[in-house]
Chains A and B, each alone.
Chain A
C-alpha cells in the first residue's frame, strides 16, 4: 500500500527560526511535491522534485527551499520562518509514469509564533 510519511503532525516554531519539514515515501516514486493548504485557497504548490537533486519552483516558492538527496526523502525548509507561513503543509509523491495520481501524507500543521 502507498505510504507517504511526514515527520511531524504538529509543529510550533518562532519567527526567524529555520524550520525543516521532512517527508518520506516508500513507493519508489520519482516525483515528490510540497503544498500548503490555507482556508479558502485550496492546495498551492510550493516546490516539486522529479528526480534526486532536481527541483522546480511551484506557484509560491518565496521563503522556502527544498532538498532531495535521496529518492525517498524530500525536505521543505523555511529559511527564516514568518507568521504568514503558519499553515497546513502537505507532502505528496507520484510515479514518473504518465497520468498517475499523487498520494499525500497526513500533513504537518505548522504554527509560527
Chain B
C-alpha cells in the first residue's frame, strides 16, 4: 500500500516558468512533510519542509503548500532554472513513526532553456 504518491513520473517546463510538483498521501497520521531533490549519482538533498500546523512554507524560489483536507501537498518552483532539473521526492512522517520517512517514487523535472 503506497502511502505517499507522486502520480506524475515526469514534468517538463520552460526556463523562467513555474514548476508545480504534486504529492498525495493517505495516512492521516502524517504531520510532517518534506521535499528532496536528487541529481543522478548523488544522494537526495533536503529542500523544504512543512508541518501540518501550517498550510504554506516559503524558502526563496521554493514554496510548499499543504492541503490537509485533501491530503495533498505541492512544491512550487518560481522561476524555474535549468539547474533545477532533477528527481524530486516527496516524503512524510508522523507521530508514532519513530522518525521514519515514507517516500514517494519521485518526479523527474526537466527545465528546458
Whether B103 lies near A106 (C-beta < 8 A) is no
Find residues 64-113 in chain B having any chain A CB closer than 8 Å to their own CB.
Answer: 89, 93, 98-101, 103-106
Q: Interface size bucket, A side? A: 20 to 34
A25 within 8 A of B: no
A64 surroundings in chain B (CB, below 8 A): none
Number of interface residues of B (CB under 8 A): 21
Q: Decide yes or no whether A63 CB sits under 8 A from chain B.
A: no
Chain B residue numbers with a CB within 8 Å of A101 are 34, 46, 49
Bound Cα distance A40, B105 (Å): 6
Chain B proximity of A75: nearest CB distance (Å): 17
Pairwise interchain contact A50-B42, C-beta atoms closer than 8 A: no
**Inter-subunit contact A90/B101 (CB<8 Å):** no
B12 to chain A, nearest CB (A): 19
Q: Which secondary structure dominates chain A's binding surface? A: strand
A103 within 8 A of B: yes
Which residues on the A side are within 8 Å of B41 (C-beta)? 9, 106-107, 109
Per-residue B-contact encoding for A1-44, CB less than 8 Å = 1, 0 else: 00010000100000000000000000000010100000011111
Chain A residues in 8 Å Cβ range of B42? 106-107
In contact, B43 and A90 (Cβ under 8 angstroms): yes
A-B contact count (CB 8 A): 52
B45: chain A residues within 8 A (beta carbon): 104
* Interface: B62 (CB within 8 A): no
The residues of B that contact A61 with a CB separation of less than 8 Å are none
CB distance from B30 to the nearest CB of A (A): 11
A112 close to chain B: CB less than 8 A: no
A6 to chain B, nearest CB (A): 8
Is there a chain A Cβ closer than 8 Å to B51's Cβ? Answer: yes
B112 CB to nearest chain A CB (Å):
23
